[in-house]
Amino acid sequence: MKNVSIALLGCGTVGKGVVDLLQMNGHLISEQTDTHIHIKHVLVRDIEKYKNVGLDENLHLTDNFKDIIEDDEVEIVVEVMGSADFAKACIEECFRRGKSVVSANKDVIADCGIGLLKLAQENGADFQFEASVAGGIPIIRPMYSSLNANQIEEIIGIMNGTTNYILTNMTDRGLTYEEALKEAQEKGYAEADPTSDVGGFDAARKIAILAKLGFHAYVNVKDVSIEGIEGVTKEDIAHATAMGYAIKLLAVAEKNTDGISLAVHPAFVPKDHPLANVGGAYNAVYVRGNCVGDVMLYGQGAGSLPTASAVVSDIMNVIQHINTEMTGKRPYLWHETAVKDAAENKAPYYIRLIAANAPGVLANMSGVFAKHGISIRSLIQKDETKEAAEIVILVDSTPCKTVRFALNEIEQLTCIHRICNAIRVIEV
């Protein structure tokens, strides 16, 4: 049996998961790869902190990256730190020394993935990052090695556990956004500052990574039009449920003859769409290819062992490449592709607003819709009080931009108190 020495950069949730998994399933992994994996170093910021957390005493903890980069025995470096700049610098240094890298770092890969893949290849090293998107769900490798005979037309992901937990609990238990967020924070599903999750930024990084691979395109997080779930209310959820939809935070990448568009936004998903039933901490990625049709990959999007499952499968792949002298030899294809404004994409919309309970309101409002060529599919006026009425409108497929223009104009009407929300509707 061969031996391979690896080093971990970071030993947080994912790093600890890798250590645990290699202990639990080490025998099966060695048998499959005919190689024994030895964790030679673990880079941590504060060695003292890790002295009593149940790590194997034989693990060599270090706070000096030099111990790792200068150790020629270390062939694979597993980067599970989370930070962006330092991680990137470490990864680059590994490639320059011919070491292969497995990373779970979505920030680094969303921003610099293609550059790093090229650098790895130039140096005959592997760069694998299955765990950077959707935790344990196999999606990165299937995208480039199982769905690769297809022209990928669309990728839709539910890839943020925090927002999915919040939306699921608002739906199932009638919680307000604030109540559900507070509970998520108390249970550790949301950070004290939840912006990255609820604002859609985390999902944006993940869809940027998938779009790169699926469309073979130079795209970046900056190309993603981002809208979070902060504006989704209990009332929106109730209307969605009554109308046969679930509200989900979707990350959507589309490609057509005009180019690529990338967006993260809440959406009404029909209850019989497979994505509508992806609840709680589960993630799912829906891919449409021009030959395979619709494919969905579903599983746990986070967590110590599920994420470690993806990291270790990457390590096993690198080992196989080392054993067959194939590291750095997988070809990748990248194209310059036009990225268009996602606001030009068409979708039906759910619109909720509060209007004065006065004559002429509907006439004024529908006049604005008509002027912009927006066709009203259904309109329900509800919860009337003496002064105000809630109006819920479903409009036919319309460019996002046009809906915004029309709503800006409607908001100026004196009879309109407030536009509460406008949410895209996904059609099956």
List residues with catalytic annotation. 206
For residues 337 to 376, the per-residue mask of contacts with a second copy, x marking binding by CB under 8 A and - elsewhere, is ----------------------------------------
Rounded least distance, CB 422 to a second copy, Å = 28
Rounded least distance, CB 99 to a second copy, Å = 20
The answer to whether the CB of 349 falls within 8 A of the CB of 394 is yes
Stretch that binds a second copy, among 295-303, 336-344, 349-357, 376-384 (CB under 8 A): 295-303
- Position among 42, 61, 76, 312 found at the interface with a second copy (CB under 8 A): 312
Residue 293 binding a second copy, by CB under 8 A: yes
- Position among 243, 297, 356, 379 found at the interface with a second copy (CB under 8 A): 297
Residue 146 binding a second copy, by CB under 8 A: yes
* Choice between 247 and 312, CB closer to a second copy: 312
Beta strands 35-43 and 388-399, pairing class:
unpaired
- Position among 47, 242, 292, 370 found at the interface with a second copy (CB under 8 A): 292
- Residue 334 in tokens: 């990248």
Residues contacting residue 301 through CB under 8 Å, at least 6 positions apart: 134, 135, 136, 137, 159, 160, 161, 164, 281, 282, 283
- Position among 1, 149, 338, 363 found at the interface with a second copy (CB under 8 A): 149
191 is in an annotated binding site: yes
Which residues on adjacent β-strands are paired with residue 308? none
For residues 101 to 140, the per-residue mask of contacts with a second copy, x marking binding by CB under 8 A and - elsewhere, is -----------------------------x-----xxx--
* Choice between 24 and 238, CB closer to a second copy: 24
Stretch that binds a second copy, among 153-161, 192-200, 285-293, 415-423 (CB under 8 A): 285-293
Stretch that binds a second copy, among 48-56, 287-295, 339-347, 359-367 (CB under 8 A): 287-295
13 is in an annotated binding site: yes
Rounded least distance, CB 273 to a second copy, Å = 9
Rounded least distance, CB 78 to a second copy, Å = 13
Q: Which of residues 25-54 bind a second copy (CB under 8 A)?
A: 25, 28-29, 31-34
* Choice between 148 and 381, CB closer to a second copy: 148
Rounded Cα gap, residues 121 and 285, in angstroms: 28
Rounded least distance, CB 283 to a second copy, Å = 10
Query: What HEC string does the chain produce?
Result: CEEEEEEEECCCHHHHHHHHHHHHHHHHHHHHHCEEEEEEEEECCCHHHHCCCCCCCCCCEECCHHHHHCCCCEEEEEECCCCCHHHHHHHHHHHHCCCEEEECCHHHHHHHHHHHHHHHHHCCCCEECHHHCCCCCCCHHHHHHCCCCCCEEEEEEECCHHHHHHHHHHHHHCCCHHHHHHHHHHCCCCCCCCHHHHCCHHHHHHHHHHHHHHHCECCCHHHEEECCCCCCCHHHHHHHHHCCEEEEEEEEEEEECCEEEEEEEEEEEECCCHHHHCCCCEEEEEEEECCCEEEEEEEECCCHHHHHHHHHHHHHHHHHHHHCCCCCCCCCCCECCCECCHHHCEEEEEEEEEEECCCCHHHHHHHHHHHCCCCEEEEEEECCCCCEEEEEEEEEEEEHHHHHHHHHHHHHCCCEEEEEEEEEECCC
Rounded least distance, CB 234 to a second copy, Å = 22
- Position among 309, 345, 402, 421 found at the interface with a second copy (CB under 8 A): 309
* Choice between 326 and 419, CB closer to a second copy: 326
234 is in an annotated binding site: no
Rounded least distance, CB 108 to a second copy, Å = 21
The answer to whether the CB of 205 falls within 8 A of the CB of 106 is yes
Q: Which of residues 197-216 bind a second copy (CB under 8 A)?
A: 216
Which residues of the shown chain bind a second copy in the complex (CB under 8 A)? 17, 21, 24-25, 28-29, 31-34, 130, 136-138, 141-142, 145-151, 216, 272, 274, 277, 289-300, 303, 305-306, 308-310, 312-313, 315-317, 320, 323-324, 326, 329-331, 333
